[in-house]
Structure 1
Amino acid sequence: MALKVELKPHERIIIGKVVIRNDDQRTRLFIEGEAPILREKDILNPASADTPAKSIYLAVQLMYLSQDLSPHYEAYFELVRQFLEAAPSALATVAEINNRILSGDLYKALKAAKSLIEYEQELIAHATRGDRLRQGGPNDPIPQGA
C-alpha cells in the first residue's frame, strides 16, 4: 500500500536523501517502497537546533535520514548525558528514544524526541515563571520577601 502525502504550495519533503520542493499548487504524492520520509514541519536544520532537546532531535533525525547510527551515535549519547544531568526528570522520555533507536524504529524515536522538545519547553516556561515570582513584580500575588 502506498503512502499518500499532500504537499502545500512550496512545501518541502525529504524522501531518502532527496529534498523535494512543491511548486505553486497543492500536490498529492503516492510513495511506494521503503525510504525515510520527513515533511517540512518535522525537519530541523542545524541552525534551528538551539536548545539541548532540539540538538538531540537533530541527532535522531540524522540517524533516521541516513539509516546509519554509527556517525551520530557518539554525539547523540553525549547530548543525552548532558540533558539528563540538567533535567533528570526526562529519563522516561529519553529511555523511550533510546529503546526505539536500539530496536531500529527510528521514526518513532524521532516522534519521542519531538516530545522531549515539548517537555523541555515546559521546563523552561516553568523556570521562567518561577524567576518572575522570585523577582516580586508589582502584579505578583506573592509579597516581596515572603
Structure 2
Amino acid sequence: MPLRVELKPFERIVIGDSVIINSNTRARFIVEGDAPILRERDTVTAETADTPAKRLYFCIQTMYLKNDAIRHRASYLACMNELRTTMPGTAQLAEAVDRHVAAGALYKALKEIRALIQCEGPAMAPDEVVP
C-alpha cells in the first residue's frame, strides 16, 4: 500500500539508506514499495542515544532501516537487558516491543519504544536528529 508523505520546508525523511531533504516549500509525494521510512523527528543518532530506551530505539531503528535484524540481534538483546534492568516498571511495554521484534514488525516496535522514552522523561523523546 502506498504511503502519502507531506514534508514541511527543509524537513528530512529517511527512506532506506537515503536521507531526503525537502526544499523551501511544503511538498507532498507518495512512496510505493517496501522501503523502510522514518521522519527526521522519529530518528535517534548514536550520539543522542544516551538512555537505555534511546539505545534500544537506536538499535531497532538500525535493524529497521538496514533491513538486517539478524546482524543486530546481539546488540538488541543487550539493549533490551539493559532496559529491563534499569526500568523494571516498564516490563509490559518492553514485552510488547519484544513481541513486535520477534514478529519482524520493527516499525511497530519503534512506536512502542517512543512510549518507553516518554517514561524516561519528556526531554528524552526523539526529536529532529538524523541518523
TM range (shorter): 0.7 to 0.9
Greater share of helix residues, 1 or 2?
1
| 1:4 and 1:30 in contact (8 A); partners too | yes
| 1:60 and 1:113 in contact (8 A); partners too | no
State, as a whole percentage, how many aligned pairs show the same letter.
41
Partners of 2:82 and 2:25 lie apart in 1 by 44
Unmatched 5+ residue regions in structure 1?
A: 125-146
Tell me what 1:31 maps to.
31
Tell me what 1:132 maps to.
none
Cα distance, 1:59 vs. partner? Answer: 0.4
Between the two structures, name the one with larger relative contact order (CA 8 Å, sep ≥ 6).
2
Tell me what 1:131 maps to.
none
Q: What is the TM-score of this pair, normalised by structure 1?
A: 0.79
Cα distance, 1:39 vs. partner? Answer: 0.5
Q: Which amino acid aligns with 2:8?
A: K
Cα distance, 1:16 vs. partner? Answer: 1.3
3-state SS in 2 of match to 1:98: helix
Tell me what 2:128 maps to.
none
CA displacement 1:6-57 (0-9 Å, x = unmatched): 1011110011111101111111111111110001110111111111110110
Q: Which amino acid aligns with 2:2?
A: A
Tell me what 1:42 maps to.
42
Tell me what 2:100 maps to.
100
Q: How many residues align?
A: 123
For 1:29-108, list aligned pairs within 5 A.
29-108=29-108
Tell me what 2:7 maps to.
7
Cα distance, 1:71 vs. partner? Answer: 2.2
3-state SS in 1 of match to 2:72: helix
Q: Which amino acid aligns with 2:12?
A: R
Partners of 1:51 and 1:2 lie apart in 2 by 34
Cα distance, 1:75 vs. partner? Answer: 1.2
Structure having the higher Rg? 1
Q: What is the TM-score of this pair, normalised by structure 2?
A: 0.88
Partners of 1:81 and 1:39 lie apart in 2 by 27
Partners of 1:86 and 1:12 lie apart in 2 by 32
Q: Which runs of 4+ in 1 moved over 3 A?
A: none
CA RMSD between the two structures:
1.5
Tell me what 1:109 maps to.
109
